Amino acid sequence: MNFLKRPFDLILSGAGIILSFPIWVVIMGLILLDDGWPVFYCQERVGRRGQRFKVIKFRTMIREAEEAGEPVQATENDPRVTRVGRWLRKTALDELPQLVNIFCGQMSFVGPRALRPQEKEVWGDKVVPLSQVPGYHRRHQVLPGLTGLAQLYLPADAPRRKKLKYDLLYVKKRSFWLDIKLIILSFWITFRGRWESREKKI
């Protein structure tokens, strides 16, 4: 049933952009009032087959969050996150602009999170590029996703190595019906406005 994935992504993302546009306007206004321009945040990510693209998100951090240019993974109480940004992250509404990435075919609704090219991981007593971690490149067999097993079942500050295990599990077990299940769970989390770990439920 994987042949249904792209048509489903195209139709749902197009409808989502149109129907959610009033929400976009409200969020943009809140970001402007809280921390000014810009309201969007574009960042280079690695997609299927290692191709790079610009992911679009609502800005949730202060403008000087990464002045050094090095990617730093956000923590649970990261001081760089703005007041509006905390609400956006809690409800996952900061991801809403990625509907455009899905519509353009750079992402899917469900898949491994799109990571930055230069991300690093602690491996033993060394810090190595994430691309050198065994199994990393297998996650590029599929399009990166707006949501997925790692995003839904693990906290944002979980080690990348643990998230990779969930990504590879999705690559192995992926199906249209699994995608539907994870999309419904994502909507439920957004509706509740509260995320909770499901690590032991998988």
What percent of the chain lies above the pLDDT cut of 90? 52
Taking the C-alpha atoms of residue 67 and residue 161, their distance in angstroms, rounded to an integer, is: 26
The mean pLDDT value for 73-101 works out to 84
Q: Alpha carbon of 196 to those of 67, 69, 76, 107, 192: distances in Å?
A: 31, 31, 12, 25, 11
| DSSP β-bridge partners for residue 53 | 45
pLDDT value for 196: 57
Q: Are strands 120-123 and 108-110 parallel, antiparallel or unpaired?
A: unpaired
Cis, bond preceding 38 (omega within 30 deg of 0): yes
Asked if the model's pLDDT at residue 68 lies above 60, the reply is: no
- CA–CA separation, 129 vs 138, rounded Å? 15
pLDDT of residue 13: 96
Q: In this predicted model, which residue has the larger pLDDT, 142 or 119?
A: 142
Q: Model pTM?
A: 0.83
Q: How confident is the prediction for the chain on average, in pLDDT?
A: 85
The residues spanned by each domain of the chain are 2-195
Higher-confidence residue: 76 or 16?
16
